[in-house]
Amino acid sequence: MEKNRTQDPAQVLLVDKPLEWTSFDVVKKLKYGLKIKKIGHAGTLDPLATGLLILCTGKKTKEIESFQAQEKEYTGTFILGQTTPSYDLETAVDSTHDITHITGEQVKAAAKTFEGWIDQVPPVFSAVKVQGKRAYESARAGKEIQLKAKKVEIKLFEITSIALPEVSFRVICSKGTYIRSLARDVGRELQVGAYLASLRRTRIGEFRVEDAKTLAEILQK
């Protein structure tokens, strides 16, 4: 059994990433747990997000870019009327705004304005490189940085339920989209602020989270 595990077979592994794990944590766990020499993930998922993470091993690592390019689907919640520097729960709330005048129809209308191709500014707490450094490194050091907007496509931005201040949603989008930035932008559109409270990636191309396994299930093989 040990010999088979060190042969580094070409595989595509669908993992249901647990909360608070980085994508690299998952790669490292499977690399040593399954004794795989060559392994990588096809698209980062934030530590505070759960859901589908595609890992490729052996010769399948050559296909990572093709998986990264496929459209993504997410579900999650954001909180209206509050903001955080990271646009999610990584950092503490830094401002609060009155939302008693906000209606469900206004929230849905705001979400619709972001469907299609948009210019999106990534979060400063992200892995985007600025002058050779990851943006989050500068942000955590308290330095002010300016990130350039990128073209991304929001194919669907559906508000699935509203229980203010919490709003649930489903998003289908292109590679490179930051859902945290989408939450921020809805908050700005409504002029009350917002941050991402939870996020789950449910699909990458034709691959669905329902077909993914937990780390424990994969390591039991």
Would you please indicate which residues are annotated as catalytic (active-site) residues? Answer: 46
Token pair listed for 81: 């009327």
Mode of pairing for the β-strands spanning 49-57 and 194-204? parallel
Residues 87-90: contacts with CB within 8 Å, 24+ apart? 87/123, 87/125, 87/180, 87/181, 87/183, 87/184, 87/195, 87/196, 88/46, 88/48, 88/125, 88/180, 88/183, 88/195, 88/196, 88/197, 88/199, 89/48, 89/195, 89/196, 89/197, 90/47, 90/48, 90/125
What is the length of the chain?
221
- The amino acid at residue 190 is L
CA 181 from chain centre, in angstroms, equals: 10
Token pair listed for 35: 């004794």
Residue 216 burial (C-beta neighbours within 10 Å; 0-12, 13-18, 19+): exposed
| Residue 18: DSSP 8-state | P
- CA-based radius of gyration for the chain: 19
8 A C-beta contact, residue 157 and residue 171:
yes
